[in-house]
Structures are given as structure tokens and as C-alpha cells.
Chains A and B, each alone.
Chain A
Amino acid sequence: MISKTLTLLRKELIDASRDKRSVLAGLYYAIGTPLIMCGLFMVLINQLSSPDDLPIKITNADTAPDLVRYLGQKGINNDTGEQAEKIQLIISDDYAKQMAQGKSAEVIIVADNSEEQLQKSIRRLQLALQNYSMEMGSLRLLARGIDPRVLRPLQVELHDQATQDSKGGMIMGIAIFTMLYSVFISGMNLAIDTSAGERERNSLGLLLSHPVTTGQLVLSKLLAVTAFAMLGLVLILAISHFAYPMVPWPELGFSITITPSFMATVLVIGLPVAMLAASLQLFVSFMAKTFKEAQSYLTMVMFIPLALAMSASYNIAPDVLKWLPVSGQQGALMEVIKGKALPLQELLISSGATLAITLLLALALTRMLRSEKVVFGL
């Protein structure tokens, strides 16, 4: 019994490893995705973060030397050039006079607030100006013999409990999703080739004419596709391990580090998902009559895990997703990468559900292959 399954499995793996289409599909995704993600994050970070030295154009700078000096200490410098033109600070002509008289002096920020790249820089300038204003106000009160605290009845302090890593949930969600989804991509071509392809090449009938049970056949195909799926996962983890450190995470206030222990966790948690992916893809492909038909069915079916995993990375996701296949694993891995404890109960249930669906699909496949309609595509 077992030796025949092994013979079948060995042949599936040899055959698949010689199939360029099957191998490359997994490779492209596993190698390409982390690199594209890293590239995207780098661009994103550059866009969102304000540069250390923020050049702005200050009009009438000589009327407010103290303010300009203060801004300079905060890294905001009076400059010329294209970059500086984007944010302008106009100091009113009567600034010095108003300040000297203890009145409000007008400063105007001119910038395009809809430009995302500028938003952080604008906020930084506003904050600097507010702080300067408060300092000046306090000095004025002191000069009049009043405790500046009179004007601050509330002292608001925020103790941010978010660990560094728990902040970028969305970005982490995407990063983990790309890893988990690799089990769906990497084995897909093999799943089609070994089912719809096998029938299209007329070898399925021949195979079933030999003294093997459909159970052995399904098991070997399932294992072969799972092996490919896991190979894709190993590959994408390895590439991510080297690619993610290149992203300047501290700018975002959190970081994604793919440690060996995290990699091991992903592999263990990903295994049931890989088996589910394999059985689902084989099931759908055997329903289709041709290779092409299988491909188009699968692209549709693959939206389900995509939707599940993606919605799990949003905070608005309903709680039930924690217990479901794919989204449960996605959620658990996100907790882990945020440095929190593994939600064991949820993970066990969602993994159990994953394996149960896999088993059901495998049993259905075993039955299907006994049907002459499926075998000959009647």
C-alpha cells in the first residue's frame, strides 16, 4: 500500500520538477513578491516620512531672526530651490513690531496640503511653530508675573502602549499575506497539470487501469502539490529574511524582522493551509475538463483565500474570521510578528477546520476518481 503511494509520489515529483511551467510559477512568486514588497515599502516610507533636514522658503526671514533660529534647531531651514519652494512660510511685515508690543504676529504657511508627501512636513512645521508660540506666551506671562500653568488647566499625556512592532498592522498584514498566499500560488500549476493535465494527456485512464486505489492516487497527488506549496513558502521566507532588513523600518516606527524562529512558526502554521490549497486546487481541477478550463476556474476560486486573508489584516474584520481557515492563520501570524503571544485557541480551531476541509475534499476526490464521468471527462 505505502510503497505504491511512494512510487506515485516519486513520479509526480520528478515529473513536476521537469515541468518548467510548474516550477517557474512558484519561483517567480516566491522570489518576486518579497522584492516587490520591499521596493514598495521603501517608496512608501520615503513618501510618508519627513526628511531630517526640511528646507522651506521663509519670506521676511530677517524680521524674525529668533524664530528662524528656533526652526533651524528643529532642522527646518530657510533655503531656496525646488524642494524648498513646496512649503513657504511668510512672516508678516509687522512681525517684529507686533512681537515687541506683545501682540499676535501673523505667520502664513503656504503649501499643498493634499500632497501626501508634504503632509508630514507641514505638520512638523506647524508643530514647531506652535511650540515656539507657546514658549513665547509663557515668557510673556512670566514677564507679567503670572505662572504660565494658569493657561494650561489640563496637562494631557499619552502613554503609548503600542510596542514598536504593533503599529504598522496594515503593512505587516500585507507582508504576511504575501507569504501565506505563496502556498496557493506555488502548487497551483502542478495541481492543474497533475489532474486536468493528466486527463488531457490520456494518462489518467492508463493510471487507473493499474492495480492502485484511487485513495493512493489522491494521497500521492495531494502530497506532491503540498510539497510544492511548502517549497514556495520556504523560498519566500528565505528571500524575505534577506530582503526585509533592507527596508528603513525605523522611519515608520516599527519593523518587520523575519527571524529563524518566526520562519519556523510560519512553516508549521502554513502546513495545514498548504494542504488545504492542494486539495482545493486538485478538486477544482478535476472538475474541469481541460487544463485551460481548470486555470480559469482556479483563478476565481483563489479569490476566496485571498479575501479571507486580506480581510483579516484590517481591524474592521469581524471576530469570526479569527476562527476560520486561512484568515485564522493570518491573524495568528500577525499577532506573532507584533510580538504578542500566539492565540493558541483560535489557531487550533482554525487549523482544525483547515484540516477538516482538506480531508473532506480529499475524500470527495477519491470518490470522484471512481466516476467514469470524471475520468474520461464524459
Chain B
Amino acid sequence: MINVSNISKKIGKVQALDDLSFSAEDGMITGLLGPNGAGKTTCLRTIFGLLKPDSGNAEIDGIDVAKHPVAAKAKLGLFPDPFGLYERLTPREYIQYFAKLSGMNSSDAKQATAAVLSKLRMDDIADRRCKGFSQGQRMKTALAQAIVHQPTNIILDEPTRGLDVMSTRVLRDLLLDLKHQGHCVLFSSHVMQEVAALCDRVIVMANGKVAAIGSPQELCQRTGQDSLEEAFIQLIGTDEGIAA
């Protein structure tokens, strides 16, 4: 469970986050929906304690990130944007490395890595160096890294960017799988289709503020629109920076 309360953050002269509050529950997929520049990535980075909020705080399973960063991060998995792969390592080494950093011992990390590699059907590329990987292969490697240690909370920053249909499916199935296992999944996106298809709850963000919170159906009903896209445009008051 991720709880964000009253976070404000200024980056340079821009008020990137403005008194932002929301929560993401376990066993649910929560979508952070907003146009480009709405503050989605800033928000996620703040949850990870990489950025320090000017005011407000973020809690992971009740642990304050600012006060106990290591303990809070142990309960998180991150699928970042950009991926941050080490091109000279193989996926197996890469995933195992981060599994150990997340606190697993050597043999557990090895087992968990093998399991996640076969789950994502990556066995054919598992021992090739990441250099030269396709976008789909990179995505899978980053995804495996995020879930290998079975964190209660998984955060994905724009997970579907640049993916083909097959890769998007792998991702979608995996997120649903995680949800059914009771994980808390929070992802940011500006792609309507994705959010409508996957999310139990949508947090619509614009200019660093929460514009609306609810399930896709609720948002449609509230705005009296048929599609989430129309609802979204009405909620944020512009169609700038949206992908259909």
C-alpha cells in the first residue's frame, strides 16, 4: 500500500507537485494518468525518496520514506523510465544483482532470478549481454528486475512506451497476475487505452495536482462522457499531451 499525503515539490521555478494526495491499495492496479509534464515521474521519484518533497510525505506500507528510506525501499519494486540497464551485464546477472540489493541472499536471488526469467519467457536471452537488446527485451529485463524480489508494491513509470503488441501483452498479463497475487501496482501513463483496460482506480493528474480519482467507469459517469478519453479531457480541461 502506497500513501501519498499533501506532497508539494518545486523543481527550479516549476511547481512540479502541488499538494498532491492519493493512495494505492494492495490487490489493485492504480493508474497515474496525466498529460506530459503533469508531474507523474516527479511524483514516483518522490515516493522512492529520490526527490525530497518540500512538504508532505509518502508512506510505503506505513513506513515514511523520508525517515526510513532503506526499510521503505525494501518494500518497493521499480520499473523506471528510462530503464537504466547495464549493457555489459546479462539479464541474469542484472536481475540477480538487484535481487541481492533488495535483500535476498545469494541462493534465493539465484532461484528467484531463474523463476522470473522463465515466467517472462526470457530464457533465450538470459545469458546474452544487454547491449543491442530490442526495446521489448529491454522492457522485459527491467520488468524482471522490478518484480524479482516479490515486493508488496510495484511502481512502473510509463511501462508501455515503445512496446509492440506482444510485449504489451506480456506486460498486461503480468500486471494482472501481480494484482491477483495481492500486490499493490501503481503505474503512470498517458495512454488512455492502457489505463482503461487495466486500472481499478485512476488518479488523474494535471499541473502537479490531483484532478480526479475513481474507477474508469466512475470517471465516465461523473463527467457524463462515454469514453475515458473524453472524460479525461474534460477533467483536465485540455487535450494537450495526450495519446489515444
A residues in contact (CB < 8 Å) with B: 3-4, 7-8, 11, 14-15, 18-19, 201-213, 372, 375-376, 378
Contacts and interface: CB of A to CB of B under 8 A. Distances in A.
Contacts of B115: none
A211 B103 contact: yes
Contacts of A210: 73, 78, 98, 101-102
Contact of B84 (A7, A203, A211): A203
B78 A206 contact: yes
B50 A375 contact: yes
B174 interface: no
Contacts of A3: 100, 105
Interface residues of B, number: 33
Contacts, number: 79
Contacts of A204: 84
30 contacts: A3-B105, A7-B100, A7-B101, A8-B101, A15-B89, A18-B88, A18-B129, A201-B85, A201-B86, A202-B82, A203-B85, A206-B78, A206-B80, A207-B101, A208-B48, A209-B80, A210-B73, A210-B78, A210-B98, A210-B101, A210-B102, A211-B69, A211-B70, A211-B73, A212-B70, A212-B101, A213-B70, A372-B50, A372-B52, A376-B50
A25 B101 CA distance: 30
Given A14-B93, A15-B86, A4 B48 contact: no
Contacts of A18: 88-89, 129
A19 B87 CA distance: 10
A18 B93 CA distance: 13
Nearest to B81: A202
Contact of B74 (A201, A206, A211, A213): A211
Nearest to A1: B70
Given A7-B97, A211-B71, A211-B103, A372 B82 contact: no
A304 to B, nearest CB: 31
A205 B84 contact: yes
Contacts of B243: none
B12 interface: yes
A287 B98 CA distance: 26
A203 B86 contact: yes
A211 B102 contact: yes
A202 B89 contact: no
B6 to A, nearest CB: 19
A372 B48 CA distance: 12
B70 A11 contact: no
Contacts of A8: 101
A209 B83 contact: no
A208 B101 CA distance: 10
A376 B80 CA distance: 13
A210 B76 CA distance: 8
A207 B48 CA distance: 11
B83 A208 contact: no
Contact of B50 (A14, A201, A205): A205
A237 B177 CA distance: 58
B50 A209 contact: yes
Nearest to A6: B100
B51 interface: yes
B47 to A, nearest CB: 10
B11 interface: yes
A48 B110 CA distance: 65
A202 B69 CA distance: 20
B7 to A, nearest CB: 14
Interface centre among B83, B87, B100 (most CB of A within 10 A): B100
B45 interface: yes
A211 B45 CA distance: 14
A1 to B, nearest CB: 10
